[in-house]
Amino acid sequence: MNVEVLKEQACAGPVFIEFCGGRLAIASSVCPDKSSPNEDALAYIELAPNHGVIVVADGMGGHLAGARAAGEIVDQIAAACNQDTDGSSVRSLLVDAMDAANQTICSWGFDSGTTVIVGELLDNQLRMIHAGDSCGLVCSNRGRIKYFSVAHAPVAMAVEIGVLDQPEAMLHEERNVVNNYVGYPEMRVEVGPPIDLAARDTVVMATDGLFDNLTVDEIVQLVRAGSLETQFEKLIANTTQRMNTNSLAAKPDDLTVACFRRQRERKDSKKSHD
């Protein structure tokens, strides 16, 4: 098992890794003009050549409490993945780890918490598990959204049921409010469906630093086609640029993003997967 954990720090720039039969891109940066540590945390865990877990967490409650909470959830998940699974899904272990982290954070006795999105890759399938407004999506190379996790937040739910559209949501005064997270006594864990990944599908998992600054359509158009390296760098650059504008839609924040794309099965294949 190969485990890499990033806590309370920023990547010097985008990092690209061979991971679970594909290519993984990661980046993590501190909110512009912020002097305190990065409250986001990230981990990627390769259990086998065809099996891996990606974790992205966003700490809440101030820089000390937030960073500690985000670190707690990634550590709990990394420890859970260290158990012998005989090549089978670790879904139940991931949910148990989130429950354990929730109990630990609640026991601290001060205002702290973290949102989290977890993706388990097994063979050609992906399943996402989340709590809060760190979210994930899967899109085809043609831009079709195959899956998007709805944030546990009132504004996100209003978008989901059609009361608000995404541009309106990005301007809403309560867009920062979440109603579920790790460290909340009544936390709920949402387990998404299994998603079959075609060779050109792109997986995006990120903190709200991404989803509060770019719409889902903007994200998809940036990552759906072209080399993962080039498009990922464009995604990070566009998000950072949006944060640094005077636009009402800009929300400066810590930013952590992971993108995964499977390798093409045949180099000579010209078939477009959708």
Which range among 167-171, 174-178, 227-231 shows the weakest confidence by mean pLDDT? 167-171
Q: With a cut of 60, say whether residue 184 has pLDDT above it.
A: yes
Query: Which residue, 18, 132, 114, is CA-closest to 74?
Result: 114
Domain boundaries, the chain: 2-262
Which burial class, exposed, middle or buried, applies to 189 when counting CB atoms under 10 A from its CB (0-12, 13-18, 19+)? middle
Mean pLDDT of the chain: 91
**Residue 79: CB atoms within 10 Å:** 13
Superfamily of domain 2-262: PPM-type phosphatase domain (3.60.40.10)
Is residue 196 within 8 Å of 124, Cβ to Cβ? Answer: yes
Q: With a cut of 90, say whether residue 145 has pLDDT above it.
A: yes
Q: With a cut of 80, say whether residue 183 has pLDDT above it.
A: yes
Q: pLDDT value at position 174?
A: 85
Question: pLDDT higher for 64 or 43?
Answer: 43
What mean pLDDT comes out for the span 19-23?
94
Radius of gyration of the chain from its Cα atoms, rounded to whole angstroms: 17
Q: With a cut of 50, say whether residue 134 has pLDDT above it.
A: yes
Cα distances from 246 to residues 192, 249, 252, in angstroms, run: 36, 8, 10
Question: pLDDT higher for 118 or 249?
Answer: 118
Q: pLDDT value at position 146?
A: 97
Please tell me the pTM assigned to this model. Answer: 0.92
